[in-house]
Structure 1
Amino acid sequence: MQKLILIILFVSQISIAQDKAPAVWPREFDLGSQKKITIYQPQVDSLKGDALTVQSAFKLNEDKKDVYGSFSLKSKALISKDQGVVTIRDIVVTDVQLPQGKTSPQTLKEDIQVLLKGKELQVPYQTLVNNLNIQIGEEARPQLKNEPPHFIYTKRPSILIMISGDPVWGESKGAKEVKRVMNTSALILNEKDKDYYLWALGQWFTAKQLMGPYKLDKEPSSKLVMIKDELVKEKKIDPIAGKTAEGKSVYPPGEVPDIILSTKPAELLQSSGEPKFQAVQGTGLLYMSNSPNSIFMDSKSQDYFVLVTGRWFSSQSLAGPWRFVEGTKLPADFKKIPVTSPVAEVLVSVPGTPQAKEGQIVSSIPQMAQVKKDLKPKPIECDGKQKWESITGTDLKYAPNCNTPIIQVTDKQFYAVQDGVWFVSSAGLGPWNVATVVPEQIYKIPSSSPLYYVTYVHIYGASGDYVTVGYTPGYHGTYVSADGTIVYGTGYFYPSYVTDAYWYPAPSTYGYGAGYGWDYGAGFYMGFAWGSWMYPWGGGYCCYGGIYVDIDVRNTYTNWGRHTVITGSGGRGVTVNKIGDQKFYRAHGSGEIYTAHDGQVYRRTGKGEWQRNVGPGTWDPVQKPDTPQLEQMHQSREMGNRQYDAQRSRPQADINRNLHGGGGMRAGGFRGGGGGFRR
């Protein structure tokens, strides 16, 4: 099956120091008075905002005898998804379970509190994901629209170029007679009564009409070339390079793709020649094996199903018409797709599957950072005097003609958000300071507003010179649908602000190959398809060429630079603290100790059998009917540690993953125009 490549970009500027080994468990500490305590890997109970509750088993050695117990704690979390680490800080020990021993539970509670005061612990991020048990329907879900986009099916390699609504023409700098389309990030030029020119794949394409058909042509006049070179240098257009991260062309030598333009929400479906189908093992489903899209056929009904932006659409013909299908009404065989199948990534979009649940959990976990209170926003530009429009359903207003979301709360209270950080000012144009609190009414902005995505940026607290901030994937356009699966975009078509000189685009759902996936070893991930120069949501991220951007691990806070933002223990100014006389080790079977919600301590033997501690040196077997929850805890820890270790041992380089649903190379992306980009 032809596959698009997902490249996860790891930010080297804020990497975890490889010599600190912050997530190795268990840990041994000296409590004094000939007492030592070994703490086993913490198990996350719950996460609400940045409030984290945790349990951990321990082994207390006093008078050369081992006694097992457990303790619970409340803490604050600092979550760094891109580094794969959850830092546990501001620890308060709430309970200690110690069935036997000379030391009383209260005394040991006080000892552990002293031990952990002002210190930090770390667990792998994937452990947090695996431990959480968020119930379906627990959190509010936004109102989403699911009207089908315009599907374009082609049997040839093609490039889809999006224009945000009817084309708006503006003058080119230094050559006013040359007009270009402002509301697209692709470069489309035209002189009166002459052909249209489009730059892509390092070549010029021409057409008699704006919407095509386009064909390769020789180089145009030098003034068009100069306009192109200047706009590429200023990063105001997408050059649509058509290359992989390694600089290789995504097309075979001599192959020229078709150019397809759209002014309305659209998605590209492709096959390499006539469609070819293969059976999905253990089901009545067939999948199109010569397509980069997730296209299926139900052999019973002969209906086609396609997965786009996490939404399912169905048709009796690849030419359409297509209709939206609720995930709960998919053929039952979709749930039966094996996790080892070439199309297993779609399981994250099938309601009721473990993969869908993981996607929902991940969408609730914030990427967090600490920012200095003296941080200042990047230059905010507006097209002339600020214009204020009301936000439906609220008393708020926003300025659509600015390159940064600016919200007016009162005549003397304005808020702006850039790269996951809130700023506040008494005037619409500043000066701006880092906000320490955000008015509640901002979080009531409805999904029908183009600024809805800012409601997923939060402030968790302020202390000293720093403010703790964070955002969940909704900031980048990922939401939980009514089916309990994650989808990209609200589905609303928001009007963009565009003139003959400026384009400040609103978020868009379709046209960029947004997709989600799941891998047996890597877990959940999300991203955009080939050629999307800037992904169409939230903060701008510029990346030329054929790459996927994984917006689950992509850390927007690194846009502020290494010396400005701390995103975990590897950040500037933060060190891994030593606690007492600790040491790291991996003794045989030492990591196989767990605690359950009842406070009891369990261990897993090398044979996979479970035992419960009933006294010093005494372990009773656990009956089979009582082991499923324990086995789930074990698998959760093993997966978390395995994925964390793999990430730490992986060189700071790109990683290839398979992800369908992109639909080929895309461009015309979303962040372009003459006056700068929304952040």
Structure 2
Amino acid sequence: MKITSIKLPGDISDESLEALGNDLENNSSTLDIEIPLNELQSSLELNNQQKDLAGQISNKAPRVIYSTSPSILVVIDGEPKIQQNAKWGVEAVVNTPFTLVKSGGSYYLHGGKHWYVAPSAKGPFSMTTTVSSQLRKIEEQSKAEASSENDAAEKDENTIYKIIVSTQPAELIQTNGEAKFASLENTGLLYVSNSSDDIFMDVDSQNYYVLISGRWYHSKTLSGNWEYAASDRLPDDFAKIPEGSPKDHVLASIAGTDAATDALQEAAVPQTAKVDRKSTQAEVTYDGEPQFQDIDGTELDYAVNTPASVIRWRGRYYSVDNGVWFESGRATGPWVVSVNRPYAVALIPPSYPVYHMKYVYIYDVSPDYVYMGYTPGYLNTFVYGPTVVYGTGYYYRPWFGTHYYARPYTWGFNVRYNPWIGWGIGYHYSSGWFNAGFGIGHRPWGYWSGGWWGPRSYRPAYCWSPNRYGGSYYGRNTVYYNRSRNYNIVNRNYSGNIYRNRGGIVSRDYRRADFNNDRYRNNRNPSWSANRSNNRYNDNRYSDNRNDNRNSRYN
């Protein structure tokens, strides 16, 4: 047995990891491990099926919009849906995460320090200083939300943006004026230096390349038709992008690089929790009577008229809420902490909005607790071949009846990967463009009622950098910066450990990296936080899948 890499929770030195690897290699031949043949065959078959499903991730290019001036892409999920917002006292567009309201026959959009007005929810918008006192109250609330999330947001608040509205999946790439190029040492690549986006030109082919949600696309022009480029089919010079250069963060999306290997390993590490079986509760509401649809290729149905993730399997109902499995004999509950995970969950295709449920696992059970965990797939980080991507790439039809329920979006928010926090929303949005949620259904104001970025109450971090047109992640060249530290990551609990969003659970944060260390500066590997009382790792994450409600004496 050859140990190529080890990742463990806790602050463990390189020397200790190396010693552990050597011990495992030297003693592997003496280990007496017995695995029943039928279990091994079943596990291998399931693993192959899951690999096939993971290969169904969609890489179809969204609509890509190019702008040469400061712009904001406002995403509306289909045609604008207008409902009265009782808290604001005005009508609002509910199928968007942006603060977009209707007042006096006009539509008003708020972001940064400005209001923008338009005759239609789809624009065209222009900046205005004439707004009602009612809208000023909404502005104050948005400012409070933004300031609590980002103490550096004021640097971007004064910018007056061109507003671009899209009612279909889209991405915005932009430059500050016409594109300017800079070279990357020892490569035949140029990168666009006056852009916060990852835009490159391959000198040999004269093709542009852009990285969007972890996927590469190429085109002959910046405003042209973009086509998918596999991460292992890029020009060879992409893998030669120097660590410490202004664009080294894209190495995580280039097959075969150390950064890509690190990202793949991160995608396999779970955030775990000890769940109290008695005190941990769930509530699931529906817009009318529960409605279910089949999931092709499985025995499962999923609920469509709820913001929750609910499936039906063999006459019982299962839900995952903030990383915890629940079950019930009725679609409406009552719900109890589940000690089983239906094996068919592993076979959910990525074309269904409940795909992320398959990344939440049950590891162990006791009379009082269930030990659970989720890997980053639950938060929309998916392994696709030799790299990780954000989102499945599919557009999921939302529910809109009396209430609107969003589904996970892959495109539209300038999502980028870095090794310390994983995926983050583009810095443009950090100055107060999103509202805190409309209190959809039974949920109170401020609860992210599911869906745009995955599980309810979850949103990725903002990633903000004053060095907009450069600065590296791996080289630590003014990556994230504020007055007191050399980095600034804004998450306010929207990323990281979502177990913090509920009671009845013991869980310590899984910390991706130690900011005081950098392996690209020849320091030790990143360290991880752990809690031995609740972190239970199991080599076979699917051991709970084939038990058919018979896996525990504590049922």
Q: 1:504 aligns with which of 401, 405, 417?
A: 405
Q: 2:497 aligns with which of 539, 552, 555?
A: 555
Residue 435 of structure 1, CA deviation: 0.8
Give the corresponding residue for 1:48: none
Give the corresponding residue for 2:417: 516
How has the CA–CA distance of structure 1 residues 471 and 552 changed in structure 2, closer, same or farther, with 3 Å as cutoff? Answer: farther
Give the corresponding residue for 1:162: 75
Letter in 2 for 1:251: D
Alignment check: 8 A CA contact 1:241 1:545 kept: no
Residue 505 of structure 1, CA deviation: 0.6
Q: Distance in 2 between matches of 1:319 and 1:529?
A: 20
Please list the CA deviations of residues 88-122 of structure 1 after superposition, one character each: whole Å capped at 9, or x if unmatched: xxxxx958xxxxxxxxxxxxxxxxxxxxxxxxxxx
Alignment check: 8 A CA contact 1:240 1:544 kept: no
Alignment check: 8 A CA contact 2:91 2:101 kept: yes
Q: Does 1:173 align with 2:86?
A: yes
Residue 162 of structure 1, CA deviation: 0.8
Give the corresponding residue for 1:183: 95
Q: 2:119 aligns with which of 208, 220, 233?
A: 208
Three-state SS of the structure 2 residue aligned to 1:368 is strand
Residue 510 of structure 1, CA deviation: 0.3
Three-state SS of the structure 1 residue aligned to 2:526 is helix
Letter in 2 for 1:393: G
Give the corresponding residue for 2:527: 644
Letter in 1 for 2:224: G
Give the corresponding residue for 1:310: 214
Residue 641 of structure 1, CA deviation: 4.9
Q: 2:369 aligns with which of 441, 445, 466?
A: 466
How has the CA–CA distance of structure 1 residues 157 and 137 changed in structure 2, closer, same or farther, with 3 Å as cutoff? Answer: farther
Please list the CA deviations of residues 145-171 of structure 1 after superposition, one character each: whole Å capped at 9, or x if unmatched: 111111111121122111111211223
Give the corresponding residue for 1:606: none
Q: 2:292 aligns with which of 377, 385, 388?
A: 388
Give the corresponding residue for 1:493: 395
Letter in 1 for 2:500: T
Q: Distance in 2 between matches of 1:553 and 1:526?
A: 9
Give the corresponding residue for 2:339: 436
Give the corresponding residue for 2:506: 565
Letter in 2 for 1:181: V
Q: Does 1:246 align with 2:173?
A: no
Task: Normalising by structure 1, report the TM-score.
Answer: 0.60
Q: Distance in 2 between matches of 1:24 and 1:137?
A: 37
Q: Distance in 1 between matches of 2:49 and 2:256?
A: 12
Q: Does 1:221 align with 2:132?
A: yes
Please list the CA deviations of residues 102-144 of structure 1 after superposition, one character each: whole Å capped at 9, or x if unmatched: xxxxxxxxxxxxxxxxxxxxxxxxxxxxxxxxxx999553411
How has the CA–CA distance of structure 1 residues 345 and 421 changed in structure 2, closer, same or farther, with 3 Å as cutoff? Answer: same
Alignment of 1:56-455 (within 5 A): 141-173=54-86, 178-191=90-103, 194-225=105-136, 228=138, 241=146, 245-251=150-156, 253=158, 255-411=159-315, 413-455=316-358
How has the CA–CA distance of structure 1 residues 278 and 569 changed in structure 2, closer, same or farther, with 3 Å as cutoff? Answer: closer
Q: Does 1:537 align with 2:454?
A: yes
Three-state SS of the structure 2 residue aligned to 1:327 is coil
Three-state SS of the structure 2 residue aligned to 1:475 is helix
Q: Distance in 2 between matches of 1:567 and 1:220?
A: 45
Three-state SS of the structure 2 residue aligned to 1:461 is strand
The alignment yields a C-alpha RMSD, in angstroms, of: 3.8
Three-state SS of the structure 2 residue aligned to 1:328 is coil
How has the CA–CA distance of structure 1 residues 344 and 372 changed in structure 2, closer, same or farther, with 3 Å as cutoff? Answer: same
Q: Distance in 1 between matches of 2:23 and 2:279?
A: 36
Alignment check: 8 A CA contact 1:243 1:249 kept: no
Which protein shows a greater Rg? 1
Alignment check: 8 A CA contact 2:298 2:344 kept: yes
Give the corresponding residue for 1:11: none
Letter in 2 for 1:203: H
Q: Distance in 2 between matches of 1:149 and 1:468?
A: 39
Alignment check: 8 A CA contact 2:213 2:389 kept: yes
Three-state SS of the structure 2 residue aligned to 1:340 is coil
Q: Distance in 1 between matches of 2:327 and 2:374?
A: 17
How many correspondences in the alignment? 455
Alignment check: 8 A CA contact 2:408 2:453 kept: yes
Identity %: 33
Q: Distance in 2 between matches of 1:179 and 1:539?
A: 23
Q: Distance in 2 between matches of 1:415 and 1:291?
A: 45
Alignment check: 8 A CA contact 2:109 2:115 kept: yes
Q: Distance in 2 between matches of 1:445 and 1:385?
A: 24
- Point out which structure has higher relative CO (alpha carbons under 8 A, 6+ apart): 1
Three-state SS of the structure 2 residue aligned to 1:365 is coil
Residue 546 of structure 1, CA deviation: 6.5
Task: Normalising by structure 2, report the TM-score.
Answer: 0.72
How has the CA–CA distance of structure 1 residues 341 and 203 changed in structure 2, closer, same or farther, with 3 Å as cutoff? Answer: closer
Alignment check: 8 A CA contact 1:348 1:355 kept: yes
Three-state SS of the structure 2 residue aligned to 1:467 is strand
Q: Distance in 2 between matches of 1:487 and 1:324?
A: 13
Structure 1's unaligned 5+ residue stretches are 1-15, 27-39, 46-53, 58-69, 74-92, 96-135, 571-634, 649-679
Q: Distance in 2 between matches of 1:186 and 1:348?
A: 30
Q: Distance in 1 between matches of 2:271 and 2:523?
A: 17
Three-state SS of the structure 2 residue aligned to 1:307 is strand
Q: Distance in 1 between matches of 2:460 and 2:245?
A: 31
Letter in 2 for 1:414: Y
Alignment check: 8 A CA contact 2:302 2:312 kept: yes
Please list the CA deviations of residues 597-616 of structure 1 after superposition, one character each: whole Å capped at 9, or x if unmatched: xxxxxxxxxxxxxxxxxxxx
How has the CA–CA distance of structure 1 residues 173 and 569 changed in structure 2, closer, same or farther, with 3 Å as cutoff? Answer: closer
How has the CA–CA distance of structure 1 residues 445 and 284 changed in structure 2, closer, same or farther, with 3 Å as cutoff? Answer: same
How has the CA–CA distance of structure 1 residues 171 and 41 changed in structure 2, closer, same or farther, with 3 Å as cutoff? Answer: closer
Residue 418 of structure 1, CA deviation: 0.9
How has the CA–CA distance of structure 1 residues 25 and 290 changed in structure 2, closer, same or farther, with 3 Å as cutoff? Answer: closer
Please list the CA deviations of residues 227-274 of structure 1 after superposition, one character each: whole Å capped at 9, or x if unmatched: x37xx86xxx89984997224424275x31122211111111111122
Q: Distance in 2 between matches of 1:321 and 1:264?
A: 16
Letter in 2 for 1:566: S
Letter in 2 for 1:529: G
Three-state SS of the structure 2 residue aligned to 1:401 is coil
Residue 25 of structure 1, CA deviation: 9.9
Q: Distance in 2 between matches of 1:289 and 1:260?
A: 23
Give the corresponding residue for 2:40: none
Alignment check: 8 A CA contact 1:201 1:242 kept: no
Letter in 1 for 2:457: G
